[in-house]
């Protein structure tokens, strides 16, 4: 009964969304307030209905209801409770249900916190949200019903894919989806603004916190996903330029650009058509990501459900949503008038440069991701190619290097007309630090990839530059220290957010550089008692033993790692076999230090009792996640700024005496 209730609630939600897509839109067109108000109630109702539906599926998982096909395919009675719950979205059908749930949460939030929004804008935006939801409800109900029953019920389930039975991956999809779907807010408001033909500071002030929230979730989600790949796949890497990873990275790049261009719209009343364009593109990439993962058009480690029929459905959805918005854009965007003028060398100019570089980077990633498809299509299936990490590294790093370099300068330029020479003079310390570190790196690792040196240099440049910008703000050493401290404390949180986020990126640059340029790998067969030395650490293989886990058998190896005779740690890499699916997985043994990770993987055993082992030293890799976390913290801090809080009164004046935030 519960599953049927969930199904029914979803059908009702579809009906509500259909009405919500039409009535408020008409109301806004005709100026009928009661029709516009309808959107608020229906958005809340939609949320309740989808919530019920999601709760029903969760119930089926938690109680192991094996008459529901979806539960049979992805759960097992012996599975730990955490993974019974995360199994709800660890599969195609359930993850789509999570998608619409999050969409409904955002819609509901607009209805509840959007008191101060102009009623017509709100009504239109909610109507657009509802129309997107209609597409996805139909998709779920017609091609991917999670509530389908089977008769007779199965005795037990097929278990969740063991790779997905992991705490990191349990929360990765919801975070990612919060990010993806979060961009639907910017999108809906962009379309509403296009219909109205008006974009102003109030619009930007409303869109920005939503975009920022989505950006925080997406950043967190991507970081979590790459962390998972790092410790679960056993390859010692954290980013593979896999199509699905790219699918989450492209919206991130565009979302970052959008975040920055919203600032310009808000403060300077310019770059409007461009910002609207970015808002559409950011959400389009989210949809494209869904398409790439769900359709099986591109093969990937991640594509756990691929089905051409679903692909056709999503492609049609994509054509309607993205094609429709770009058509609307082509028609209405030329009418958006900007008032703020600015010189090329100015804060606006710097932010535009950021936007262009981010956009180009996203375009390049898109090209690399879809290129195999193009080749396949033009050669009529005769030529198959793959575009892997070497391509992306060769293209992406040269694009990001100037961007990171410019990131240190941009915040030091004034709005409207900046002084580049003065900004560069202010940054002299950063230049010295970067240069000194580059020389040090060069002398230490001469002959290796030059990108290691470049990475260290621009990381140091950005980190120091960000600190210099902060000290400029508080006029450090130019006014008495106590006054500087007072300024520091009273800095608006949004400016703290920027400083943290930029600094976090600098840390992440160090991490990526270290692990990318100086990773040491060693593969060998080892007998118990043998020792191998990697990067100055002695790894002694102590042997392996079989153990029984809750739903798997495991061979657990033990390494004792020492340096100069002192024991540093013990590592316990495992090779597990999940009994239900008979599927083996690798669990790396990892010890994290600020200088780098010790990383051991155990492979097959041989008849003579030896094992193939793979040992890595991944320098600085922890900095990447520390950096990502710092970026998210920066975003959250900025989000908590009073002036940008969701639902802040329209046209609220900035608090007197505050510094410009960005």
Contact set for another protein, span 467-526 (CB under 8 A): 523-525
Site string for another protein, 258-277 (x = CB under 8 A): ---------------x---x
Quote the DSSP letter at residue 164.
Answer: G
Task: State which of positions 289-308 bind another protein (CB under 8 A).
Answer: 291, 295-299, 301, 304, 306, 308
Q: Is 405 in the site for another protein (CB under 8 A)?
A: no
Q: Which tokens go with 459?
A: 């990381």
| Cα distances (Å, whole numbers) of residue 397 to 28, 406, 455, 508 | 47, 14, 9, 14
Task: State which of positions 65-94 bind another protein (CB under 8 A).
Answer: 69, 72-73
At its nearest, how many Å lie between another protein and the CB of residue 323?
Answer: 6
Looking at 475, 606, 642, 650, which residue binds another protein (CB under 8 A)? Answer: 606
CA distance 555 to 571: 13
Looking at 19, 387, 405, 476, which residue binds another protein (CB under 8 A)? Answer: 387
Tell me how far apart the 2 most distant CA atoms of the chain are, in Å.
83
Name which of 173 and 234 has its Cβ closer to another protein. Answer: 234
List of residues 6+ apart from 243 with CB closer than 8 A:
292, 298, 299, 300, 369
At its nearest, how many Å lie between another protein and the CB of residue 117?
Answer: 26
- Beta bridge partners, 559, equal 541, 571
CA distance 121 to 361: 32
Q: Is 281 in the site for another protein (CB under 8 A)?
A: yes
Name which of 26 and 577 has its Cβ closer to another protein. Answer: 577
Name which of 371 and 591 has its Cβ closer to another protein. Answer: 371
Please check whether residue 42 is in contact with residue 16, taking contact to mean a CB–CB distance below 8 angstroms.
yes
At its nearest, how many Å lie between another protein and the CB of residue 346?
Answer: 10
Name which of 365 and 628 has its Cβ closer to another protein. Answer: 365
Name which of 50 and 199 has its Cβ closer to another protein. Answer: 199
Q: Is 357 in the site for another protein (CB under 8 A)?
A: yes
Helices (H), 31-159: 33-62, 69-74, 81-86, 92-113, 119-143
| Cα distances (Å, whole numbers) of residue 335 to 13, 35, 128, 441, 443 | 36, 27, 21, 53, 57
Task: State which of positions 153-212 bind another protein (CB under 8 A).
Answer: 154-155, 158, 161, 163
Looking at 44, 141, 612, 626, which residue binds another protein (CB under 8 A)? Answer: 612
| Cα distances (Å, whole numbers) of residue 88 to 161, 262, 521 | 12, 36, 37
- How many CB atoms lie under 10 A from the CB of residue 391? 15
* # binding residues, another protein (CB under 8 A): 89
At its nearest, how many Å lie between another protein and the CB of residue 521?
Answer: 9
Please check whether residue 47 is in contact with residue 129, taking contact to mean a CB–CB distance below 8 angstroms.
no
Looking at 15, 356, 429, 440, which residue binds another protein (CB under 8 A)? Answer: 356
At its nearest, how many Å lie between another protein and the CB of residue 327?
Answer: 6
Site string for another protein, 426-455 (x = CB under 8 A): ------------------------------
| Cα distances (Å, whole numbers) of residue 5 to 18, 141, 148, 227, 498 | 20, 14, 12, 37, 46
At its nearest, how many Å lie between another protein and the CB of residue 235?
Answer: 9
- How many CB atoms lie under 10 A from the CB of residue 193? 25
At its nearest, how many Å lie between another protein and the CB of residue 192?
Answer: 18
Q: Is 532 in the site for another protein (CB under 8 A)?
A: no
Name which of 261 and 499 has its Cβ closer to another protein. Answer: 261
Rounded (10°) angle between helices 119-143 and 2-30: 150
- Applying CB under 8 A, which part among 216-224, 321-329, 454-462, 636-644 lies near another protein? 321-329
Q: Is 599 in the site for another protein (CB under 8 A)?
A: no
Rounded (10°) angle between helices 347-378 and 389-409: 170
Handedness of CA 523, 524, 529, 532 (dihedral sign): negative
Give the CB-side neighbour count of residue 509, counting CA atoms within 13 A: 26
Site string for another protein, 568-587 (x = CB under 8 A): -------x-----xxxxxx-
Please check whether residue 591 is in contact with residue 569, taking contact to mean a CB–CB distance below 8 angstroms.
yes
At its nearest, how many Å lie between another protein and the CB of residue 76?
Answer: 12
At its nearest, how many Å lie between another protein and the CB of residue 151?
Answer: 8
- Applying CB under 8 A, which part among 207-215, 247-255, 608-616, 626-634 lies near another protein? 608-616
- Applying CB under 8 A, which part among 36-44, 207-215, 219-227, 361-369 lies near another protein? 361-369
Name which of 356 and 429 has its Cβ closer to another protein. Answer: 356
Specify the DSSP element, H or E, that contains 640: none
Quote the DSSP letter at residue 526.
Answer: E
- How many CB atoms lie under 10 A from the CB of residue 372? 18
**Cα 209 vs. chain centroid, distance in angstroms?**
16
- Applying CB under 8 A, which part among 164-172, 221-229, 312-320, 497-505 lies near another protein? 312-320
Name which of 381 and 447 has its Cβ closer to another protein. Answer: 381
Rg (C-alpha) for the chain, rounded Å, is 26
Looking at 1, 34, 339, 381, which residue binds another protein (CB under 8 A)? Answer: 381
Site string for another protein, 324-343 (x = CB under 8 A): --xx-xx--xx------xxx
């Amino acid at each position: 009964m519960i599953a049927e209730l969930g199904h029914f609630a979803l059908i009702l939600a579809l009906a509500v969304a259909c009405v919500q897509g039409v009535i408020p839109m008409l109301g806004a067109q005709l100026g009928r307030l009661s029709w516009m108000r309808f959107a608020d109630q229906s958005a809340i109702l939609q949320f309740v209905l989808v919530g019920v539906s999601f709760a029903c599926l969760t119930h089926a998982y938690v109680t192991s209801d094996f008459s529901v096909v979806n539960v049979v395919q992805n759960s097992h009675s012996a599975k730990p409770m955490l993974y019974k719950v995360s199994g709800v979205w660890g599969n195609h059908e359930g993850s789509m249900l999570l998608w619409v749930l999050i969409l409904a949460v955002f819609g509901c939030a607009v209805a509840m916190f959007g008191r101060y929004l102009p009623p017509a804008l709100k009504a239109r935006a909610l109507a657009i949200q509802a129309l997107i939801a209609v597409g996805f409800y139909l998709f779920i109900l017609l091609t991917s019903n999670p509530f389908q029953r089977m008769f007779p019920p199965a005795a037990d389930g097929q278990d969740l894919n063991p790779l997905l039975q992991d705490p990191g991956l349990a929360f990765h999809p919801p975070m990612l989806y919060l990010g993806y779907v979060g961009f639907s807010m910017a999108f809906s408001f962009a379309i509403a603004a296009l219909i109205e033909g008006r974009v102003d500071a109030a619009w930007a002030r409303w869109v920005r916190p939503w975009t920022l929230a989505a950006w925080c979730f997406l950043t967190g989600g991507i970081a979590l996903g790459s962390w998972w790949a790092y410790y679960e796949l056993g390859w010692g890497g954290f980013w593979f330029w896999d199509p699905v990873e790219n699918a989450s990275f492209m919206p991130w790049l565009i979302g970052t650009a959008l975040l920055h261009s919203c600032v310009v719209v808000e403060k300077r009343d310019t770059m409007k058509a461009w910002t609207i364009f970015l808002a559409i593109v950011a959400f389009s990439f989210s949809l494209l990501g869904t398409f790439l993962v769900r359709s099986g058009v591109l093969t990937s480690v991640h594509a756990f459900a691929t089905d051409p029929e679903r692909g056709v459905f999503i492609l049609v959805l994509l054509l309607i949503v993205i094609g429709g918005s770009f058509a609307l854009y082509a028609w209405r965007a030329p009418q958006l008038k900007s008032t703020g003028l600015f010189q090329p060398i100015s804060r606006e100019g710097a932010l535009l440069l950021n936007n262009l570089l981010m956009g180009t980077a996203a375009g390049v990633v898109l090209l690399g991701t879809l290129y195999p498809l193009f080749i396949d299509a033009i050669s009529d299936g005769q030529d198959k190619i793959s575009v892997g990490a070497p391509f992306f590294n060769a293209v992406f790093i040269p694009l990001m290097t100037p961007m990171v370099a410019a990131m240190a300068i941009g915040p030091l330029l004034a709005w409207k007309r900046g002084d580049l020479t003065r900004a560069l003079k202010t940054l002299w310390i950063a230049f010295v630090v970067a240069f000194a570190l580059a020389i040090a790196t060069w002398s230490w690792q001469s002959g290796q990839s030059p990108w290691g040196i470049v990475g260290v240099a621009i990381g140091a440049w950005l980190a120091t530059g960000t600190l210099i910008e902060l000290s400029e703000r508080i006029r450090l050493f130019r006014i008495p220290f106590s006054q500087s401290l007072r300024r520091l404390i009273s800095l608006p949180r949004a400016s703290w957010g920027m400083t943290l986020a930029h600094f976090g990126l600098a840390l992440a640059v160090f991490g990526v550089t270290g692990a990318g340029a100086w990773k040491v790998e060693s593969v060998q067969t080892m007998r118990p008692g043998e020792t191998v030395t990697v990067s100055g650490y002695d790894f002694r293989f102590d042997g392996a033993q079989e153990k029984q886990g809750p739903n798997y058998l495991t061979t657990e190896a033990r390494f004792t790692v020492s340096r100069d005779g002192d024991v540093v740690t013990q590592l316990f890499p495992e090779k597990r076999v999940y009994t239900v699916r008979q599927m083996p997985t690798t669990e790396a043994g990892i010890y994290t230090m600020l200088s780098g990770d010790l990383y051991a993987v155990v492979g097959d055993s041989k008849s003579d009792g030896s094992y193939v082992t793979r040992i890595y030293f991944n320098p600085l890799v922890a900095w990447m996640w520390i950096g990502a976390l710092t970026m998210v913290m920066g975003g959250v801090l900025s989000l908590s700024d009073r002036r940008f809080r969701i639902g802040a009164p329209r046209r609220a004046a900035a608090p007197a005496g505050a510094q410009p935030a960005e």
